[in-house]
Amino acid sequence: MEQAAHLVPLNWYLFLSTFLFCIGVMGVLFRRNAIIILMCIELMLNSVNLLLVAFSAYSGNSDGQVFVFFIMVVAAAEVAVGLALLISIYRNIGSTDIDVLNKLKW
């Protein structure tokens, strides 16, 4: 196991995370449904988490792992607040389409 893991270069994690991050970004740009966008943001956060853990593991210092806990905390809080906002909006306009939200402009 350790021998095998040895063979995974850190670069790959970097690549994977970056790719995942960009998929998340694309999702945010791609979709109109607020919930999906939220999920894409979660995806971005997870790519960060993955990279942090990878860095932490490879450098042998656990700060990265601890940080991930905090990111999870924040993500949870964010989601809670976000979904609450979403519900509140849905009650008012009956939609979760972000393109409908354009009262405020110019």
Partner 1 sequence: MYTLIYTCCLGLLCLVAEILNLRKLLIPIILGGLAAIFFVNYMDWQNVAPMIIGGMDMSHMIQVDHFTVAFNGLLIAAAALLFSLSADFYKDEQHHLSDYLAILLFILSGAMVLTSFSNLIMLFLGIEIVSISLYIMAGSRKFDIRSNEAGFKYFLMGSFASAILLFGITLIYGSSGSFELAKISSFAAVSGMNSPMFLVGSLLMVAALLFKVAAVPFHFWSPDVYEGSPSLVTTMMATLVKVSFFAAFYRLMSGGLLGIDGYTNDILVIVAAATMIVGNLIALSQENFKRLLAYSGISHAGYMLLAILSLKTDSSSALFFYGAAYVLATIGAFAVAIPVFKATGKETVDAFDGLGRKKPFLASMLTLSMLSLAGIPPLAGFLGKYYIFSEAIKNGYAVLTILAVLASIVGVYYYFKVILAMYTKTGDETEVKPSLLYTIVMLVCVGLSLLLGVWPGGLMGLP
Partner 2 sequence: MSQLLFFILSTMTILSALVVVFTHKPMYSVLSLIVCFFTIAGHYILLNAQFLAITHVIVYAGAIMVLFLFTVMLLNLNSDSDVPKSGKLRIAATIAAGMLFVTLLASIKATTLGEFTLPPPSDKGMVEHVGQRLFTDYLLPFEISSILFLSAMIGAVLLAKREKN
Partner 3 sequence: MTFLGLMIPLLPLMGFLVNGLLGKFLPKGSTGWIGSLSVLASFVCVLLLFKDLGAAQAISIDVFNWISFGHIDISFGLWIDSLTMIMLMVVTGVGFLIHLYSIGYMHGDHGFTRFFTYLNLFIFFMLLLVMGSNYLMMFIGWEGVGLCSYLLIGFWFKNEAYNDAAQKAFVMNRIGDLGFLMGMFFILFHFGTLDIQAVEGLATGLSADSTLLIGITLLLFVGAIGKSAQLPLYTWLPDAMAGPTPVSALIHAATMVTAGIYMVVRSNVLFAMAPTTLTVILWIGVATSVFAAVIGLKQNDIKKVLAYSTVSQLGLMFAALGLGAFSSGIFHLVTHAFFKALLFLGAGSVIHALHGEQDIRNMGGLKKLIPVTYLTFILAALAISGFPLLSGFFSKDEILAHAFEQDKVVWTILFISSLLTAFYMFRLVFLTFFNNFRGTEETKHHIHESPWTMTLPLIILCVLSVIGGLIGIPAVFHVSHLLDTYLSAVTEPSASLLHHGEKLSHSLEIGLMTLAGLAAIGVILYARRKYITLKAMPEADSAITGLPKLIYHKFYVDEIYESWIVKPVFKMSEWFGTFFDKQVVDRLVNATADVMDSGGKSLRLFQTGNTGFYVFAMVIGMVVLFIIRLLI
Least distance (Å) between residue 41 CB and partner 2: 11
Which does residue 20 touch among partner 1, partner 2, partner 3, none (CB within 5 to 8 A, set by kind)?
A: partner 2
**Structure tokens, 62:** 């656990």
The region of 28-36, 50-58, 78-86, 87-95 touching partner 3 under the rule CB under 8 A is 28-36
With CB under 8 A as the contact rule, the residue among 2, 41, 102, 105 that binds partner 2 is 2
The reply on whether position 41 binds partner 2 by CB under 8 A is no
Measured CA to CA, the distance from residue 53 to residue 37 in angstroms comes to: 24
* Cβ atoms 55, 45 nearer than 8 A: no
Cα end-to-end distance, the chain, whole Å: 58
